[in-house]
Chain A
Amino acid sequence: MGRADAEPWYDEDDFDWQLSLGAFYVNTKLPSLIGAKHEFSSLAPLIDAKLRYKNFYLNTHSGDFFGGSDLGYQLVQRDGWGLDVIFGNYQIPFSENGYYSNDDKVKELEGIKERKVDQSIGFAYYQNVGEYLAVVELVYDVFGESDGWVFHIEATRNFELRNWDLWLNFGANYYSQNFNDYFYGVDPSEVNDYLYGFTAGDGATAFVQTQLNYPIAQDWVYSAGLSVLVGSGGVKSSPLVESNYARVVFTGVKYVF
């Protein structure tokens, strides 16, 4: 059985990189915004990069799960635990066009201000717990507009099943009232025929994810994954959203350079 580990995942040399290119089918269902499209399917190119220079690292994920990037700096690396400074995004942006700006304007959302993606900075603490790697993150939306913070906790384990990797990841997020209200509150200036004024309280989500990887040939990997996230009831009270459920299913192949 494999175990997730807080040891550095790269060599101790100064610079490492890894680039993956592939094609993935991704089906995403996001929390339903009133009147807006919330399910998306695509056969999309995947470009993933892992860069590490000394203690800095950048990981981008364009093809699997919800995408995004991780930028970090390893402050402490010890046997069994570590502490990083991290930069990342914890909420998906949306506007009166829905989740993606190239969609048509949604009449139910007309007049709302753009909810820009958070630009959060904070700390991530890693700790081996038996066969699991536990991660606790506390970040503040420093460069975004929410003035809120997010507490994230998760556990990851890798099961090595012959040549297959089966990753299991589960955890929860807690969003401060400011953070939640920025995305799901409705200001008086945004009120329209469909939206009433609303102040969102704090919120939470729980999630479970799994991913299968298999080496189909040298440098080629097949992957498939499923991610499910459920939000707390408070978010559903917002007139902006009709559901607090999200999931992603993906499958595809990638070439690893």
Chain B
Amino acid sequence: MYFRLTQVMLMFFILTPLGVSAKEQRKGILNATPSKCVALNQGRTCYADVVFEISAPQAGDYCLRESESKRILQCWANTASFAYTLSFGSAESVSYELISKAQSDTLAVTTIEVNWVHKVRAKKRRWRLF
């Protein structure tokens, strides 16, 4: 019993940090702040200055691009950490990905979510007066 408990604890201490660090590393490669943009009405363009902070595991050539359109926002050469400020404007959520030029591989993906307060636009409005 003592042996099995030790084994379980050992596996816990070995596996857990690995799992956490892998997750954190993945999360930490590409961070966007803010990650949510709120508009007043559904369908309206939401604006935000979004800062992407990139911490690649090693120095290299990287590009940040829109996931769907594949439009390149910016590329960096022979570096591991860098930041990019995007003047975001979209009526829908948009995903961005970090790619390695050498491997043509997607290293990380992040999404700027667009939400809204009102489902419908208050087009007709009566202004109450006396």
Contact = CB atoms under 8 A, between A and B. Distances in A.
A163 B39 contact: yes
A219 B41 CA distance: 10
Interface stretch (A88-96, A105-113, A193-201): A88-96
A205 to B, nearest CB: 8
B3 interface: no
Interface size range of chain A in the complex? 35 or more
A218 B38 contact: yes
A221 B117 contact: yes
Contacts of A114: none
A4 B125 contact: yes
Nearest to A256: B117
B47 A163 contact: yes
Interface residues of B, number: 25
A163 B38 contact: yes
A65 B128 contact: yes
Nearest to B36: A218
A7 B123 contact: yes
Task: Indicate the member of B39, B47, B119, B125 with the most A CB atoms within 10 Å.
Answer: B125
Contacts of A214: 40
Contacts of B38: 163, 215-218
A8 B127 contact: no
Interface in B46-74: 46-48
Contact of B126 (A16, A66, A70, A207): A70
A213 interface: yes
Contacts of A82: 124
A145 interface: no
A88 B120 CA distance: 24
B130 interface: yes
A133 B128 contact: no
B44 interface: yes
A231 to B, nearest CB: 10
A9 B124 contact: yes
Interface of B: 36-40, 44, 46-48, 115-130
Given A70-B128, A256-B117, 7 more contacts: A4-B123, A90-B129, A163-B37, A163-B38, A205-B129, A218-B116, A219-B117
Interface of A: 4-11, 16, 18, 59, 61, 65-70, 82, 86, 88-92, 124, 126, 133, 135, 152, 154, 156, 160, 162-163, 165, 167, 169, 173, 205, 207, 209, 213-221, 227, 229, 246, 256
